[in-house]
Amino acid sequence: MTEAVLQVTGLCRAFGSVRAVHEVSFSLPAGGSLGIVGESGSGKTTTARIVVGLEQADAGEVLVRGRARTGRARGRAERLARAREVQMVFQDPYLSLDPRTSVEAVLRETLRLHFPGTDHTTRIRELLDQVGLGTRAADALPRQLSGGQRQRVAIARALAVEPAVLVLDEAVAALDVSVQAQVLNLLADIRERTGVGYLFITHDLGVVRCVTDEVVVMRHGRIVEAGPTTEVLDAPRHAYTRLLLESVPRPGWDPDRIAAARRAL
Ligand SMILES: Nc1ncnc2c1ncn2[C@@H]1O[C@H](COP(=O)(O)OP(=O)(O)OP(=O)(O)O)[C@@H](O)[C@H]1O
Ligand SMILES: [Mg+2]
């Protein structure tokens, strides 16, 4: 059995009377890709934020490479160490990128923070290359980039610290379908090359089919179904999963849309 890089056990988090996350458990094998799907408000982002450490759990445990990271990080060194284990990419990189900071400066800042005292020029070039941004993009400011390029910058910044796990929360949801396909392709390549594991949160089952090996289906804070992605999507056992598969989140939606766009590249 492959060792789990991320192990989540019995996670609970309530906001007042709302059980945002209730008894959620799953495990991500090293270098694997696990999807979390479910309708709006089902607890996906709250789960992700607890895993990353942006939110505290009321109960339960998060282990990364077998080490507990539940509870608040004590001090700067522990905060940085935790950040090196798990990184997050959000839906809208506009909100997480400083509008006055160039692409190169963003990456240099992160590298300096985590690996002080070394020259990062080569690594910056390597990261830009890894996410398919030419060195010409290095001097650009966020507003000079397209949505897809900005998301590549956010991915490069996350990869800069060489995390064991990348948490992607609706990371391609804001992108056009063709750009989505490019970024999903890129993410598949990166996983293959670096062995980073993905926790992939999306409401788009086409995306889940494309980039995950396993999937958990959440409803009202609980997991209703879990298993290998193809099994769950092709033969869903739970009525809620069947409903998700049948529902149409937006006009023209088609579960094979992304897969087809990917093949067409
Ligand atoms: N900080 C908060 N304070 C109060 N309630 C919250 C907070 N964060 C989340 N919730 C509630 O917890 C529940 C789960 O929210 P969460 O954002 O995790 O869902 P989600 O599955 O990510 O939804 P979406 O698909 O819309 O992003 C919702 O009922 C939400 O209103
Ligand atoms: Mg969410």
| Span from the CA of 153 to the centroid of ligand 1 (angstroms) | 26
The two structure tokens encoding residue 10: 């019995």
Q: What are phi and psi of 246, to 5 degrees?
A: -85, -25
Atom nearest to 45 CA in ligand 1: 22
**Cβ density class 7-23: b for 16+ within 10 Å, e for less:** bbeebbbeeeeebbbbe
Provide the 10 A C-beta neighbour count for residue 193: 9
**For a substitution probing ligand 1, which of 22, 44, 46, 218 has the most ligand atoms within 8 Å of its CB?**
46
What pLDDT was estimated at residue 91?
86
pLDDT in tens, 95-112: 778 889 999 999 999 999
**Rounded distance between C-alpha atoms, residue 143 and residue 235, angstroms:** 44
CATH number for the region 4-234 comes to 3.40.50.300
Provide the 10 A C-beta neighbour count for residue 4: 18
**Rounded distance between C-alpha atoms, residue 80 and residue 161, angstroms:** 10
What pLDDT was estimated at residue 248?
46
Using CB atoms within 10 A of its CB, is residue 5 exposed (0-12), middle (13-18) or buried (19+)?
A: buried
Q: Which residues line ligand 1 (CB under 6 A)?
A: 15, 18, 20, 38, 40-46, 203
| Span from the CA of 43 to the centroid of ligand 1 (angstroms) | 6
Where does CATH 3.40.50.300 sit in the chain? 4-234
What pLDDT was estimated at residue 188?
94
| Span from the CA of 218 to the centroid of ligand 2 (angstroms) | 12
Q: Whose CA is nearest to atom 7 of ligand 1?
A: 15
**Rounded distance between C-alpha atoms, residue 143 and residue 130, angstroms:** 21
Predicted confidence pLDDT, tens digits, the chain (265 residues): 567 999 999 999 999 999 999 999 999 999 999 999 998 999 999 999 999 999 999 999 999 999 998 778 888 888 899 999 999 998 877 777 888 999 999 999 999 999 998 999 999 999 999 999 988 899 999 999 999 999 999 999 999 999 999 999 999 988 888 899 999 999 999 999 999 999 999 988 889 998 999 999 999 999 999 999 999 999 999 988 988 887 745 555 565 654 555 455 5
Atom nearest to 218 CA in ligand 1: 21
What pLDDT was estimated at residue 257?
59
232 near 215, Cβ under 8 Å?
Answer: yes
Q: Whose CA is nearest to atom 24 of ligand 1?
A: 40
| Span from the CA of 219 to the centroid of ligand 1 (angstroms) | 12
